Structure 1
Amino acid sequence: MNQQRDTREERHRTRQDEIIMAARQCFRQYGFHAASMGQLASRANLSVGQIYRYFPSKDALIEEMVKRIVDNRVAAMSDHVDAQHIAAMLAWRETLSEDDEMLMLEVAAEASRNPRVADILQAADAHIFSNACRKMRLNYPHLSDEHITACVEVLAVLVEGTAFRRLTPQKASAISLQTLYQQLIHHIIKHSEDK
């Protein structure tokens, strides 16, 4: 009995993964707003009704997709969040996934039109922000919570701004930018230590 249930759950997860993959492709090609459930169903080789068995709405699909992107970012954050790594990532415009970055820009655009997607984006931001604060607290335990929050906010602006800037050619050398980012991050953390 348990084996049958496990097999059903595995099939369910596999089908959800296939739908999410098809949704990612459609959303990248058409944008969230313009992608239809019919296009998504066609890409997933399913009927629209079958998709609705797994996800009750396009917003539910977006929510699951964003959750997976954020979970991947949080997992990566566990390994690579220190000032030097962040400076290098920003300067060289590195990303965990170019596709995820572009999809999150689509989420931000859709959030400006759709209150439900705005809520999804806020929840995702709260999750990743709290994890970044926790990681910074581990690296700099002597800093106050207020200063950690302020530092993470500035770093979030730099990271998210860099995601947007990836759409244009970089105007300065990555080597020069890395030095400036290191100095900036050091100054932010040092300034917080002095308070």
Structure 2
Amino acid sequence: MDLHPLSRTEKQNKRKQLIIDKAIELTVAHGLDQLSIADIAKASGLGPGQIYRCFQDKDEIIENMILSITDKRICTPGFHRHDVHIKAQELASGHPNNMSSEELSLLYEVLNISGNNKIIETIEKSEKKMQEQGLYILKEYYKTASPQEIRAIAEVVATLTEGVILRTAKGYSQDVDQAILQRIYETMLTAMDSLFGEVKEKENNIQ
């Protein structure tokens, strides 16, 4: 017997997350164009009516998929860690913030969406959230950098990360030597550390 039964709200939130997770799995397997409420319901073990009680339509599910991926990226320890070697390794492997191949594929699918203002707004909202978190983390590490320098560093990191995501999703970088890539990324990131002065000591990093 469950001594701590879930409240109605908790059950609803759990069901919503199940729907989002299954929608992500289906999108990775078949693409967004093939995603349907009927398939999501079947994969979730729910009826279409139960899906519609959680989400207004497929677009709202897609919006929540985007937000879910964003939250997962921000919560990944690698997102908060300032370790040149590990960061260079992640970039060279094509999996920034330790994103899986499935997440990369889905993110690429989402980035290709056009013509839907609500989804575009959600993407922009997610990007802003990532940017705000990134700026906060950079300020913690680059203690002596000016606000303008922090913004510039953030832009470089974002350009590297998003470039890796897109090129990996398209399969452009699969034949490139990862060891060489890692050395290049390490050199670039180390130079950035040197250029902008004092960096927070490693023992204070979030593990």
Aligned residue for 2:165, secondary structure, equals helix
- Match for residue 83 of structure 2? 82
- Match for residue 151 of structure 1? 153
Q: Which shows bigger deviation, 35-44 or 120-129?
A: 35-44
5+ residue gaps, structure 2, are: 198-207
CA distance in 2, matches of 1:178, 1:65: 31
Paired positions, count: 190
1:100 corresponds to which letter in structure 2? E
Superimposed CA distance per residue, residues 58-117 of structure 1 (whole angstroms, 9 cap, x where no aligned partner): 22212222222111211224542333322111112233322222111111011x232211
CA distance in 2, matches of 1:14, 1:135: 30
Distance 1:173 1:156, change over 3 A: same
Aligned residue for 2:32, secondary structure, equals coil
Kept after mapping to 1: 8 A contact 2:144/2:196: no
Flag as ranges the 4+ runs of structure 1 deviating above 6 A. Answer: none
- Match for residue 161 of structure 1? 163
The normalised TM-score by structure 1 is 0.85
Q: How do 1:63-74 and structure 2 match up within 5 A?
A: 63-74=63-74
- Match for residue 31 of structure 1? 31
Superimposed CA distance per residue, residues 122-176 of structure 1 (whole angstroms, 9 cap, x where no aligned partner): 1111111111111111010111111111111111111121122222453432222
CA distance in 1, matches of 2:110, 2:129: 16
Q: Which shows bigger deviation, 12-21 or 182-191?
A: 182-191
5+ residue gaps, structure 1, are: none
Identity %: 26
The normalised TM-score by structure 2 is 0.80
